[in-house]
Amino acid sequence: MPPGYLPRSRTGCVKPVFFSTLTVGAACMLICVLVNVFVSTGLNVRAIGLAVAAAILPTLLYGTLIIWLDRNEPESWELRGLAFFWGAVIAVFFALFLNTAAWSFFTVASSQDTGSILTAIAVAPLVEESVKGLAVLVVLWFTRRHIDGVLDGMLIGALVGLGFAMTENITYFGVAYSDGGAAAVGTLFIIRSLINGMGHAVWTSFTGAAVGWSRARHGRGVLRLIVPVIGWGAAVLGHSIWNLGASLTISVLTIGLERVFLLPEWQALILAGIVGGLPFSIPPLLVALLIALLGRDQESRVVRRYLPVEVRLGTLTPEEYQTVSDPLTRKSALAAARRDGGIRRRRQQREFNQIATRLAFFHYHAIEGERPYLPEIRRAEQLRWNLSALRWSMLNPADAG
């Protein structure tokens, strides 16, 4: 057995204690966040319903797009849900507490308007990107196998940011309804959910991508410590630029459109949001998409280089390796499976590809110098058994039915 495969043991009860404490704490935080939401809506049932609907619908759309990017080696729904919950509840709780404390300090030291501006520009991006980015580090520390590289870290960060944005939007929409009714909610929806609907997800994805890159360094080089800080800094900077630049630009344009073109306030705000908001929201989104594409390319290279180990072990045939390692062949195999055996056969072929990809990453980490724990070695054996079972099922659909 190669030295990289020599297992290491894992002992202690730190994780059970941590997760038990986290569960109790998360329940308390959830209650606090719900109370804040109810208070922001003035306990108005209609306001709550409209705010929740306006926040959840775009979240479902953006969440689907984020998950689609990681379709080759997807994370479990449990991890996705935990990442989203961290953003929607835990991160919101700490951000609410720390931002309020900072606002109170600046207000006492200067004025209420100054306190609001300083909190939005300097404190909120720093606090929010820190508590959101912490989720990626927690996943890396406690369930390391879920982050194989840039794309996995990016996915987790984006889901955390998406959850945060949803809860924040519910609060903002509730306040908007109290101030101006459904029309005010609609105007704010266009700016927060359409023009910059992916803002929080994009910013935190920078932190996640940097942590994923560092994890793939397997403990080598000082850059593995520097790059995550750079990614977090990029998230904070992008957040600050939006809070300062976009908000200021939209406010100035709104006033100008109202006074010069005599537009109604809601029309001026929407037009100003499009003209003044998109230049601040589109560039970070394009950068995130580029990083995601590079992350998918990295996954493909890992599969091509490390999956042949399973061919030599007899787990895969050369033809199966070609199918899994080549994106075009993989796509053709999925189409053929759907044509020959329907949705069930396509689902089996997709699962076969995903399991093979996980095995490739198992060898990637082991060969590159990260010794696996015994449970990970057993999990790899289970994956091989699953591949054999799926192969038999696809070759004998009548018996497997």
The pLDDT of 110-117, averaged and rounded, is: 87
Encoded tokens for 135: 């989720």
Is residue 276 helix, strand or coil?
A: helix
pLDDT of residue 191 exceeding 70: yes
Distance CA 168, CA 246 (A): 18
Among all chains, which residue has been given the structure tokens 């787990």? 315
Q: Which of 192, 194, 121, 130 is closest to 160 using CA atoms?
A: 130
Q: What is the pLDDT of residues 321-368, one digit of tens each?
A: 999 999 899 999 999 999 988 999 999 999 999 999 999 999 999 988
Mean pLDDT for the stretch of residues 199-221:
93
Cα 352 to Cα 350: distance, rounded to the nearest angstrom: 5
pLDDT, one tens digit per residue, over 18-55 is: 667 778 888 898 899 888 888 877 778 899 999 999 99
Mean residue pLDDT of the chain comes to 90
Full DSSP string of 296-323: HHHHHHHHHHHTHHHHHHTSS-HHHHHH
DSSP 178-203: HHHHHHHHHHHHIIIIIISTTHHHHH
Average pLDDT over residues 364-386: 90
pLDDT at residue 3 is higher than 70: no
Helices 327-367 and 318-325 pack at an angle, to 10 degrees, of: 100
- How many CB atoms are closer than 10 A to CB 53? 13
The residues that bridge with 8 in the sheet, in sequence order, are: 373
Half-sphere CA count of 245, side-chain side, radius 13 A? 13
Encoded amino acid at 369, one letter: G
Return the minimum-mean-pLDDT range out of 89-93, 108-112, 344-348: 108-112
Q: How far is CA 21 from CA 30, 79, 91, 146, in A?
A: 14, 18, 16, 22
Give residue 1's pLDDT band: very low, low, confident or very high (50, 70, 90).
very low
User: Distance (Å, rounded) from C-alpha 396 to C-alpha 19?
Assistant: 43
pLDDT of 164 strictly over 80: yes
Kindly tell me the burial class for residue 32, based on how many C-beta atoms sit within 10 Å of its own C-beta (0-12, 13-18, 19 or more): middle
pLDDT digits (tens, 9 = 90+) for 232-249: 999 999 999 999 998 899
Confidence of residue 113 (pLDDT cuts 50, 70, 90): confident
Sign of CA dihedral 167, 170, 171, 173: positive
Amino acid, single-letter form, for residue 74: P
Q: What share of the chain is helix, strand, coil (3-state, %, to 5)?
A: 85, 0, 15
Residues in the chain: 401
pLDDT at res. 368: 86
Tokens 């105007």 sit on residue:
187
Q: Give residue 182's identity as a one-letter amino acid code.
A: A
Mean pLDDT of 309-321: 94
How is residue 327 written in tokens?
């994106």
pLDDT range class, residue 152, cuts 50, 70, 90: very high
Neighbouring-strand partners of residue 373 = 8
Instruction: Kindly write down the DSSP assignment for every residue of 370-382, as one continuous string.
Output: -PPBHHHHHHHHH
Structure tokens at 204: 């935190």
The counts of H helices and E strands in the chain are 16, 0
